[in-house]
């Protein structure tokens, strides 16, 4: 599956992270973007993953998982778009904008 970048490690993001690790994905191939330093440290210790700033996580990622608050999606996408590989798979469980 290559390098996976996980943007957001709240409850949903950490659940995805735990599932990836349990299913056998190599921890060394997972980059997590988590701005809370204490939480990022715990994730590194518990799952053996690497944490990185958004740009550094986006550049090598073959798969990008967006798991942030809906209001944060547009800004995040604008920030990482120039750094994404043209062939990366971008997955988000939440819409970037809502039209009712």
Going along the chain from its start, the domains and CATH numbers come out as 4-92 (3.40.50.720)
Q: List pLDDT tens digits, range 26-81.
A: 999 999 999 999 999 999 999 999 999 999 999 999 999 999 998 999 999 999 99
Residue 99 — pLDDT band, cuts 50, 70, 90? low
Rounded-to-integer distance, Cα 81 and Cα 26, Å: 25
- Edge-first strand order for the sheet with 89-92 is 50-51, 30-33, 4-7, 63-66, 89-92
In this prediction the pTM is 0.88
Contact in structure between 67 and 8 (CB atoms under 8 Å): yes
Which pLDDT belongs to residue 98?
53
């Amino acid at each position: 599956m290559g390098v996976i970048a996980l943007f957001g490690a709240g409850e949903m993001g950490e659940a995805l992270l735990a599932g990836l690790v349990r299913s056998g994905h190599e921890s060394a191939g997972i980059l997590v973007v988590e701005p809370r330093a204490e939480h990022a440290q715990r994730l590194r210790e518990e799952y053996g993953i690497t944490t990185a700033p958004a740009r550094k996580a986006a550049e090598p990622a073959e798969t990008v998982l967006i798991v942030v608050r809906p209001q944060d999606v547009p800004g995040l996408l604008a920030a990482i778009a120039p750094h994404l590989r043209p062939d990366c798979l971008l997955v988000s469980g939440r819409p970037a904008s809502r039209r009712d």
